[in-house]
A and B are shown apart, each in its own frame.
Chain A
Amino acid sequence: MNTIIVNKELCNGCKICMKACFIDVIKWDDAAKRPLIAYPEECVQCMYCEINCDKRAIKVHPKYDSYLFPREHLI
Chain B
Amino acid sequence: MTKHMATDVLIVGGGLSGLATAITAKEQDPKLDVTIVEKYTSGYSGKANRGAGIMLILGDHSPEEFAQFYLKHIGMYLNNQNALLKYAKMLNSNADAIEKWSGKIDKDENGRFRTLKWASKIVGRGEDGRPIFDQNVPYPWTLAAVDLDYIREVRKYARRLGVKFIDRVGVVDLLTDRGAVAGVVGYDIDNGAQTVFGAKAVVLACGNQCWRIMPMWSPARGEGVAAAFRAGAKFANCEYGSFYNWTNLDHFESDMGVEYALYNDKGENVGIKHIKEVHPDINAESLAEWYKQTIAGNGPLHYRQNENPLMPYLTSVLASQAVHNRPYADRFWGYLFFNAFSQQTTDHVVPGLVGEFGGLWVDENMATTVPGLFAAGDICVHGSRAWGATAQPGRHRGSGIAFATFSGRVAGPSAATYAAGAQSLALSDDQIAAIDARVTAPLKSGGSLVPMEMVAEIQKVMQPLGNSLYRHEDRMKKALARVEELKALLPQLKASDPHQMFGVNECEATLLCAEMFFKASLERKESLGWFLREDYPEPSKDGLEWIIVENKDGKVSVGKERVPLETYPYQP
* Contact A67 B452, beta carbon cutoff 8 Å: no
* Contact B44 A74, beta carbon cutoff 8 Å: no
Q: Which residue of A lies closest to B502 (CB)?
A: A24
Closest beta carbon of chain B to A52's beta carbon, Å = 8
Could you tell me which residues of chain B, from 488 to 530, have a CB within 8 Å of some CB in chain A? Answer: 499, 502
* Contact B459 A50, beta carbon cutoff 8 Å: no
User: In the docked arrangement, what's the CA distance between A44 and B352, Å?
Assistant: 14
* Contact B40 A23, beta carbon cutoff 8 Å: yes
Do most interface residues of chain A lie in helix, strand or loop, or is the interface mixed? loop
Closest beta carbon of chain A to B471's beta carbon, Å = 13
* Contact B499 A69, beta carbon cutoff 8 Å: no
Q: Which residues of A contact B40 (CB under 8 A)?
A: 19, 21-24
* Contact A64 B251, beta carbon cutoff 8 Å: yes
User: In the docked arrangement, what's the CA distance between A31 and B331, Å?
Assistant: 33
Q: Which residues of B contact A28 (CB under 8 A)?
A: 190
* Contact B459 A70, beta carbon cutoff 8 Å: yes
Q: Determine whether B59 belongs to the interface, using a CB cutoff of 8 Å to chain A.
A: no
Could you tell me which residues of chain B, from 164 to 218, have a CB within 8 Å of some CB in chain A? Answer: 167, 189-190, 212-213, 215-216, 218
User: In the docked arrangement, what's the CA distance between A38 and B50, Å?
Assistant: 22
* Contact A23 B218, beta carbon cutoff 8 Å: yes
* Contact B351 A74, beta carbon cutoff 8 Å: yes
* Contact B44 A73, beta carbon cutoff 8 Å: no
Q: Which residues of A contact B212 (CB under 8 A)?
A: 68
Across the interface, A62 reaches (CB within 8 A) one of B332, B343, B455, namely B343
* Contact B499 A24, beta carbon cutoff 8 Å: yes
Q: Which residues of A contact B251 (CB under 8 A)?
A: 62, 64
Q: Which residue of B lies closest to A46 (CB)?
A: B50
Interface size on B, residues (CB 8 A): 45
Q: Which residue of B lies closest to A62 (CB)?
A: B339
Interface size class of chain A, counting residues whose CB lies under 8 Å from the partner chain: 20 to 34
Across the interface, B189 reaches (CB within 8 A) one of A24, A48, A71, A74, namely A24
* Contact B216 A20, beta carbon cutoff 8 Å: no
Q: Determine whether A10 belongs to the interface, using a CB cutoff of 8 Å to chain B.
A: no
Q: Which residues of B contact A64 (CB under 8 A)?
A: 250-252, 343
Q: Determine whether B371 belongs to the interface, using a CB cutoff of 8 Å to chain A.
A: no
* Contact A73 B339, beta carbon cutoff 8 Å: no
* Cβ contacts B18-49/A at 8 Å (1 or 0 each): 00000000000000000000011101111000
**A19 with B41, Cβ < 8 A, contacts A68-B455, A69-B459 known:** yes
Of B138-146, B354-362, B462-470, B532-540, the one contacting chain A is B462-470
* Contact B213 A69, beta carbon cutoff 8 Å: yes
* Cβ contacts B241-265/A at 8 Å (1 or 0 each): 0000000011110000000000000
* Contact B332 A51, beta carbon cutoff 8 Å: yes
Q: Determine whether B231 belongs to the interface, using a CB cutoff of 8 Å to chain A.
A: no
* Contact A48 B190, beta carbon cutoff 8 Å: no
User: In the docked arrangement, what's the CA distance between A24 and B501, Å?
Assistant: 12
* Contact B252 A67, beta carbon cutoff 8 Å: yes
User: In the docked arrangement, what's the CA distance between A21 and B50, Å?
Assistant: 12
User: In the docked arrangement, what's the CA distance between A39 and B455, Å?
Assistant: 15
Q: Which residues of A contact B46 (CB under 8 A)?
A: 22
Q: Determine whether B162 belongs to the interface, using a CB cutoff of 8 Å to chain A.
A: no
* Contact B499 A39, beta carbon cutoff 8 Å: yes
* Contact A46 B215, beta carbon cutoff 8 Å: yes
Q: Which residues of B contact A54 (CB under 8 A)?
A: none
Q: Determine whether B481 belongs to the interface, using a CB cutoff of 8 Å to chain A.
A: no
User: In the docked arrangement, what's the CA distance between A23 and B374, Å?
Assistant: 25
User: In the docked arrangement, what's the CA distance between A18 and B308, Å?
Assistant: 38
Closest beta carbon of chain A to B168's beta carbon, Å = 9
Q: Which residues of A contact B219 (CB under 8 A)?
A: 22-23
Q: Which residues of B contact A19 (CB under 8 A)?
A: 40-41, 43-44, 167
User: In the docked arrangement, what's the CA distance between A45 and B455, Å?
Assistant: 18
User: In the docked arrangement, what's the CA distance between A48 and B46, Å?
Assistant: 12
Q: Determine whether B557 belongs to the interface, using a CB cutoff of 8 Å to chain A.
A: no
User: In the docked arrangement, what's the CA distance between A24 and B40, Å?
Assistant: 7
Could you tell me which residues of chain A, from 2 to 45, have a CB within 8 Å of some CB in chain B? Answer: 18-24, 27-28, 38-39, 41-42, 44-45
Across the interface, B463 reaches (CB within 8 A) one of A42, A46, A73, namely A73
User: In the docked arrangement, what's the CA distance between A73 and B465, Å?
Assistant: 9
Could you tell me which residues of chain B, from 443 to 475, have a CB within 8 Å of some CB in chain A? Answer: 452, 455-456, 459-460, 463-466
Across the interface, B41 reaches (CB within 8 A) one of A20, A27, A47, namely A20
12 contacts between A and B (CB under 8 A): A22-B45, A24-B499, A24-B502, A42-B452, A45-B339, A47-B336, A51-B328, A64-B252, A64-B343, A69-B463, A74-B463, A74-B464
Known: A42-B452, A48-B332; 19 extra A-B contacts, CB below 8 A, are A19-B43, A20-B44, A21-B40, A23-B219, A24-B40, A24-B189, A24-B499, A44-B216, A45-B339, A52-B44, A62-B251, A62-B343, A64-B250, A64-B252, A69-B213, A73-B459, A73-B464, A74-B351, A75-B294
